[in-house]
Structure 1
Amino acid sequence: MSDLTAMALELDRETHRRLNRLAQSRRVTPRLIMNEAIAQYLEREEKREVSRQETLDAWNEYQASGLHVTGEEVIAWLETWGEETELPAPECHK
């Protein structure tokens, strides 16, 4: 039993032409290129959604607790990376 599902996709003529030309030059089917493109798009957008949700969660946590680190504190810490006198990560505070 196959795990594939068929879907109809309408493409404008120029996109259809470009897809076929690329498929011919790579000696693969247009379907393979479309499947690969969709898989890459979904992976990228799912990562973007995770990042967006993490940002919202961090904002909500900040709103509730008030704990934060200033940009100046982070920059001062980063400027010591790799040095013998490397500072520890700054502590969150109100």
Structure 2
Amino acid sequence: MSLRDHLCRLATTVDHWSPEIAALIDTGDSNAKSEGINRVITLIARDAFGFRNPPTNAHAAAPPAEPADTSSPRRQLLHPGDHRRC
């Protein structure tokens, strides 16, 4: 896509959205606050109703896996500040 094509697309977009752009400049209002509130409501609803797809979310209710074998020197966990390589 050439620079001219990009500029034409930008001009078309700005022309299409000019009433909304002018309203934003005139009033300083946007829909960001309502979009944020809707996002919070969606997250709360998702938590309130639990898992919607049990097979997909089975891992969330599964018991924890057995701990990894750390007796082998190659499997030992490094502590912060320990710069040895396994």
Larger relative CO (CA 8 A, sep 6+): 1 or 2?
A: 1
| Rg comparison, structure with higher value | 2
Q: So what's the TM-score if we normalise by structure 2?
A: 0.31
Q: So what's the TM-score if we normalise by structure 1?
A: 0.29
More helix, by proportion: 1
